[in-house]
Amino acid sequence: MAQMPLLKKLATEAFQTVFVPKVIARQLVVLVALEAGMVTLNQISALVQFVASSFSSRSRLIRQMIAEQQKVVTQDDWMDLAERIDNIQGNDVWRSDPECALYERERLTARIDQFVHLMRRQDIFDLMFVLRGSIGRNKFGLLHEVR
């Protein structure tokens, strides 16, 4: 019993040496502060972008088209708006380059033609079969790195 305070002191020292609670607590405080700072910066950045885009007619048009997309009833209308948005943003430039190294154009267009053919025939079973077979990574070179 006389050695109990000594054992308690040794146990406390061993705990503090192994688990370092003060250092962990400091790191947690820094982590929370950094995370809160990043969230704040992201919100401020989004607000600045929104305000800056209010002065651009192109950005206002894109925002208006995105709002229209939320209200359309048919997929064709939605796709039409999406293509117009891509055109305005310049996200459709890759389609005009037949030598693009990002994907295998011939195989991809052949597969799209196959989908369109099956949809026009309304052959749901074959369409499901082809779609399920297409699920896979790096199909048609879509994951190729840019060279």
Q: Give the structural domain span for 145.
A: 97-147
pLDDT confidence bin for 20, thresholds 50/70/90:
confident
pLDDT confidence bin for 90, thresholds 50/70/90:
confident
- pLDDT digit string (tens) for 99-120? 877 777 888 888 889 989 999 9
Q: Which pLDDT does position 83 carry in this prediction?
A: 93
pTM here is: 0.47
Same domain flag for 25 and 47: yes
How many domains does one find in the chain?
3
Which of 95-99, 117-121, 124-128 shows the lowest mean pLDDT across its residues?
A: 95-99
Same domain flag for 18 and 49: yes
Same domain flag for 50 and 67: no
User: How far does CA 32 lie from the centroid of its chain?
Assistant: 24
Distance CA 102, CA 26 (A): 46
